[in-house]
Amino acid sequence: MKRLIPFAMLLLSPTPVLAGANDPALWITIDSEAVKPVSEAFAREGWAAPTPYLEKHDVTLLPVYESQLERIAQVMHDRFNRCAGFVTYETFQEAMASLTPPDMPAAAELTVPSYTLDSATTVNKLIAVLAESNIRSTINTMSAYTTRYYTSTTGVSSANWLRTHWASLGAGRSDVTVELFNHAAWAQPSVILTIQGTTLPNQVVVVGGHLDSTSSGSTAPGADDNASGIASFTEVIRAAMAVGYRPARTVKFIGYAAEEVGLRGSKEIAAYFKNNGVDVVGVLQLDMTNYPSTRSDVKVGVVTDYTNAAQNTFLRNLITTYVGIKQANSTCGYACSDHASWYNQGFAASIPHEALVPEGNPYIHTVNDTIARSGSTANHALHFAKIAAAFVAELGEGSAP
């Protein structure tokens, strides 16, 4: 079903109270069932309700202002347990184009890897040196920032710290580089560490998670959401350096900016890779890894929507073979994390969640998202570091002499 409003009417749409010269007009796509709760939240703030421009395949296109993104993110978390649950676009044209299925890379353009598990020696070397204490340290460092919100000075500082930390881990390796991916529309950069592949350097494996945080209170520690995901694969980087792992395929570890306000960082990066013809053979997203369910014994929720079925089977096999904890399928909803950005560009993406999605951390997006809520340890996040290590070693191939 489609609902259309003449473009001229958009010029007459009410302006939110907070809008001003420094409050850019943006567009979002959001699950249609969320339009009413968002409108109700706007009314409580004294803002005019956003005017739906188009609805297609249960996704609605809305005009909003940048100052409203944080409130929308709160609604999506409180009502739908999604983070972020919507996608933000700088232009109307880009937003409209997103509602039409993109031209996916042709089979000849993307490598479909073998999902046979044949790198046990390398996986086990990596897993053997993973340490809970290092993951915990990274969580504590990142959650100590007052906020990592994408427009804040501390949000920028946290990204710069991550770049410096990753560079220190890769020091002495000529095949390792760390760079900032700057975004024109906001201050916080994304961070990318690359280990150059030895024999298949043009094929790329991506492991990522968002580095920003948000909260409805005075601070946004974001210990679980998502310092935990960043910390889990940061420990994989350290382990890879410790055992001298050199992948056959190029491996990129990415800390995305601005996920909480519509997957903005990962959307730009995934589009950049697509537009530049990068052969991404697989993407793993870690978003919330350190709060075990208190309602069931499922330790990993394998998200089945907006992900690749074949790679999900590979992921389940990795968990069974190398981690040995209980897993189950789960669904996350529209644009619930950065994996959706890669999926929307036609790349194979997967996301293992800390629990079945409805059983995840209830304290995220509040001042209480601290490591204390996870028992002041990173024991659960260590499971996900093992998953990421197995993903890197099996998909990246190569060796650790």
Q: What is the DSSP string of 3-22?
A: ----HHHHTTSPPPTT--TT
> Could you tell me which residues are beta bridge partners of residue 251?
195, 205
Give the integer Cα–Cα distance in Å for 173 and 289: 29
Of 255, 27, 259, nearest to 150 (Cα)? 259
Bond from prior residue into 312 cis (ω within 30 degrees of 0): no
Catalytic hit among 235, 260, 369, 394 = 260
DSSP 51: -
Give the integer Cα–Cα distance in Å for 132 and 138: 10
Catalytic hit among 183, 210, 339, 383 = 210
> Has 259 been annotated as catalytic?
yes
Of 236, 181, 229, nearest to 209 (Cα)? 229
> Has 183 been annotated as catalytic?
no
> Has 260 been annotated as catalytic?
yes
> Has 338 been annotated as catalytic?
no
Alpha helices (H) along 208-352: 229-242, 264-275, 309-318, 339-344
Residue type, 144: A
Catalytic hit among 365, 369, 383, 397 = 365
Asked if 305 and 369 count as a contact pair (C-beta separation under 8 A), the reply is no
Nearest-10 crossing angle of helices 120-128, 379-396: 150
Catalytic hit among 287, 338, 369, 394 = 287
What count of other Cβ atoms lies within 10 Å of the Cβ of residue 91?
11
Catalytic hit among 31, 66, 70, 225 = 225
Catalytic hit among 259, 338, 354, 397 = 259
Asked if 396 and 248 count as a contact pair (C-beta separation under 8 A), the reply is yes
> Has 365 been annotated as catalytic?
yes
> Has 58 been annotated as catalytic?
no
Length of the chain equals 401
Pairing of strands 279-285, 176-181: unpaired
Sequence-ordered list of residues with C-beta below 8 angstroms from that of 304, at least 6 positions apart, any chain: 312, 329, 330, 331
Helix (H, G, I), strand (E, B) or coil at 208: strand
Asked if 16 and 68 count as a contact pair (C-beta separation under 8 A), the reply is yes
Catalytic residue annotation: 210, 225, 259-260, 287, 365
